[in-house]
Structure 1
């Protein structure tokens, strides 16, 4: 995980707040310069798993950083580095997929991804609901960030579906299927980004409001059952739902824009 010094973090947040109020090119360029280390770190890590030059990946990563700058909401109270890294990594992975590069996914991540899919089904049966990504990561014994990176890497890799050889690489053959982009993974990446935004917005709700939304909309429980679990009346559940939805709309509207 990338860590920034407290003074740098404060400086970045001050500029982010200024940019959210007055999004000028000068402020955006300043934010790109202040967060260049995030791009270099992600580009360096991915460059060890593919054949593309590091410099090309770095340049593409800056596009992801700019997307993150434009979509970040300082009022959410989250660290910008945690918000920006998925955008930077996603932009680079999209570039690699479109280029037809063959990603070398670490064997450990392949095993974790397979175990994670199995755990997702087991936890859903045990919990009576779909498990959170953080719960799957905890069950695997890894951090949430590594689990997210593992999923992104596996979801964005090219699927070998055609055997026709179109090129000879120094370490083997590349089939036509290797060069085809996977449209489905692009949708999965968008879902992952939306889920991240929703999780951050949910974390800002009051405990009972958050619990009401989870029980009714995520776990699909009747309002009477939700009321019993939370320890409030069904009428109060309804009030919390309306309040929570209004707050979520207000929090997510700037990101959608």
Structure 2
């Protein structure tokens, strides 16, 4: 009696080659089933680093796996699992980044916040009214102050919109964005004030000293070129510059002289 040969089970790489040449949903689903252990392993690892349920992360991982299947090139010769891991993990992390708050809350606080939400709902049903802060704190076995700080952390973990308004001095609402300091404008304003002060100080110098400073520091002439224009030695020009700079510093440090 001739033994019956059982056909070999196709490997993930065999199916990927077939899918590369003739893609179909059936082939893709087979590849997904063969690699579901990889998705679950990554989802299990990520679930211990965040508060999202394992099942939700696994569903995201399957989306990443499908993306990897669509982009995998079998002829390159590398393992599909190594290729797929960044896609699977990336899909989960991308979701977590979109959901995450700007302010990072410790895992212990997040777990307590979840318990607090469940406690509030349970007490509301049992008491047929909205529970008080003392009742919630007692049910969670924490102090009233801890419960208030927990509520504050929950409210402040997401950033305020710059379009949100408040009324600091009147009944007219003011957008939050309008109250922010424009650092560029302030920098330009300070530069303009410095320029005006410098011009006022230069105006108090002798014409010769002011001209020498402008030639050297504004027009960029060398001391030798300035000396040739005036008909003196470069050493003399250097001495004039030093004296003029000292006089400028004295004027700038004296508000009375600047306002004169």
Interval of TM-score (by shorter of Structure 1 and Structure 2): 0.3 to 0.5
Normalised by the length of structure 1, the TM-score is 0.38
Of the two structures, which has the highest relative contact order with CA contacts closer than 8 Å and spacing of 6 or more? 1
